[in-house]
């Protein structure tokens, strides 16, 4: 059973670099905390795998972090959050385990006034219905619209997040929801890559929709959890250690875009799950 100690780091894992947007939000909200991030780059993407395989991968990633000593486990992957969270929570209790789906759904329920919420994510996340289920669990009266926006992942990883081309692609995906009579007022960014495109998406939807960033809402949920359990590290310098299961050079290059600062491959430790 993991020992909960406020001085331990917070463990964060994802199938790759997308979860670095969650880490970035966590570091901004919790500047005194230390973080241990694992990107399972050797086996990405999780979204194309069966639920059983995703659960196995998630357990192996979590075990890697727990063995190093963490006081909480953050699942910064929509697919793993959708299918593996209960298994992880049961395996590592009383270690707190938080995913990215529930915080985003909770915030969307709070923000919508029309009762019409849209979710954009990868094809597997939309097809799996995790956000739809989480939203309806909180508010059964909602009308929910989902759309896979697979090109957004490639744009984010290439660093193409602004400009006419990016906004044109955003408009192609989102314009049907901007037609007269459509009452959608809240848009959930249901993929950890999508916060990089938030400015372009915001320019396309204008003031018609509030954007819900699952990275920012997860950071708020972690802050509240640490306060509730008296596990927060309220003084001292924060920090991070980065782990990956393959190709530290690419992790550093692409991950720099997601963290918003340069990363060196020398700072990334390769691990074998």
Per the CB < 8 A criterion, the answer to whether 11 and 36 are in contact is: yes
17-33 as b/e: b if 16+ CB within 10 A: bbbbbbbbbbbebbeeb
Indicate if 77 belongs to the active site.
yes
Concerning whether 191 is annotated as a catalytic residue, the answer is yes
Question: Furthest-apart CA pair in the chain: how many Å?
Answer: 55
Compute and round to an integer the Cα radius of gyration of the chain.
18
Q: Are 136 and 105 in contact (CB under 8 A)?
A: no
Kindly give the interhelix angle for 20-29 and 248-259, rounded to the nearest 10 degrees.
Answer: 50
Catalytic hit among 64, 77, 149, 170:
77
* Active-site residue (options: 149, 170, 191, 267): 191
DSSP assignments along 74-101, one per residue: EE--HHHHHHHHHHHHHHHTTS-EEESH
Catalytic site residues? 77, 191
């Amino acid at each position: 059973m993991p020992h909960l100690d406020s001085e331990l780091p917070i463990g964060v894992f994802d199938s790759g670099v997308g979860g670095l947007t969650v880490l970035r939000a966590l570091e901004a909200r919790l500047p005194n905390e230390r973080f241990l991030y694992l990107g399972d780059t050797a086996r990405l993407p999780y979204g194309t795998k069966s639920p059983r395989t995703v659960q196995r991968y998630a357990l192996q990633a979590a075990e890697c972090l727990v063995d190093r000593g963490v006081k909480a486990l953050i699942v910064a992957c929509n697919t793993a959050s959708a299918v593996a969270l209960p298994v992880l929570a049961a395996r590592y209790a009383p270690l707190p385990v938080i995913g990215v789906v529930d915080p985003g759904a909770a915030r969307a329920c709070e923000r919508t006034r029309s009762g019409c919420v849209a979710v954009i994510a990868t094809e597997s996340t939309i097809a799996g219905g995790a956000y739809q289920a989480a939203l309806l669990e909180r508010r059964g009266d909602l009308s929910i619209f989902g759309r896979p926006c697979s090109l957004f992942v490639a744009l984010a990883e290439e660093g193409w997040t602004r400009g006419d081309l990016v906004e044109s692609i955003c408009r192609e995906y989102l314009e049907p929801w901007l037609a007269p009579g459509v009452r959608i007022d809240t848009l959930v960014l249901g993929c950890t890559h999508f916060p990089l495109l938030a400015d372009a998406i915001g320019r396309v939807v204008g003031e018609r929709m509030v954007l819900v960033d699952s990275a920012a809402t997860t950071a708020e949920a972690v802050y509240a959890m640490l306060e509730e359990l008296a596990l927060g590290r309220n003084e001292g310098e924060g920090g991070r250690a980065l782990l990956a299961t393959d190709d530290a050079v690419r992790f550093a290059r692409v991950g720099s875009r997601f963290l918003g600062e340069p990363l060196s491959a020398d700072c990334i430790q390769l691990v074998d799950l």
